[in-house]
Amino acid sequence: MLNWAYPDAMHVRTAVWMAQASGVLPRREPLPDADPLSVTFRFQQSIRLRDAQARLDELRHRIDAGLAGQPMPAIAVVLIGPMLWTRFESTAGSVNMLSHASGPVGEDVVIVTDEAVVAALAEGRLTAREARAQGLVKTYGTRQSVERISVLLDRSFELKENPMSQTQASQEAP
């Protein structure tokens, strides 16, 4: 359904897999207990969900800082692994976050990505521009709203020094 509503959205999953295979993103270990009804499995899922929400909250803080008091179009982010929707809206000069949203509302800009990408953005290991260029993020909405959100995310997640570039530069040095 996600790919039907947002064309090429599932390409994000492939891009994440490729980024993990090349070492750009860390691989996620599967939950050890395959029985989804077991207490251990549910507990581990709860921990992953809590971690994802903490990273999304870090994104909220970074977006809030990037806004500098300016309004922004509302954003609905969906993490394709757990299909977790989270909405971000600016109100009175700051950004509010609604976890476990039922999906986008009205003219929300929709961002499709994965937990590993959110973690890399939150930790400053990846810029928003790099994530878009590698297909790790797909954005949907009106052209004007998508452009505004892209500029905001670029400003919010711009790295002073990119750890990936430093690693590559040190490997390329004679």
Q: What is the pLDDT along the chain (174 residues), one digit of tens a residue?
A: 888 899 999 999 999 999 999 999 988 765 565 666 777 767 777 888 888 899 999 999 999 988 877 889 999 999 998 889 999 999 887 899 999 999 999 999 999 999 999 999 988 899 999 999 999 999 999 999 999 999 999 999 875 444 444 444 444 444
- Residue 163 has a pLDDT of 40
Question: What homologous superfamily does CATH list for 2-24+45-167?
Answer: SCP2 sterol-binding domain (3.30.1050.10)
The domain limits of the chain are: 2-24+45-167
> Of 77, 162, 149, which Cα lies nearest the Cα of 117?
77
The tokens for 21 are: 């295979």
Q: Give the model's pLDDT for residue 122.
A: 87
What is the DSSP secondary-structure string of 129-156? HHHHHTTS-EEES-HHHHHHHHHHHHHH
Backbone φ and ψ for 67, nearest 5 degrees, come out as -65, -35
Pair 106, 142: CB distance under 8 Å: no
Distance, in Å, from the CA atom of 32 to the CA atom of 34, rounded to the nearest integer, reads 6
The pLDDT value recorded for residue 92 is 80
- Size (the chain), residues: 174
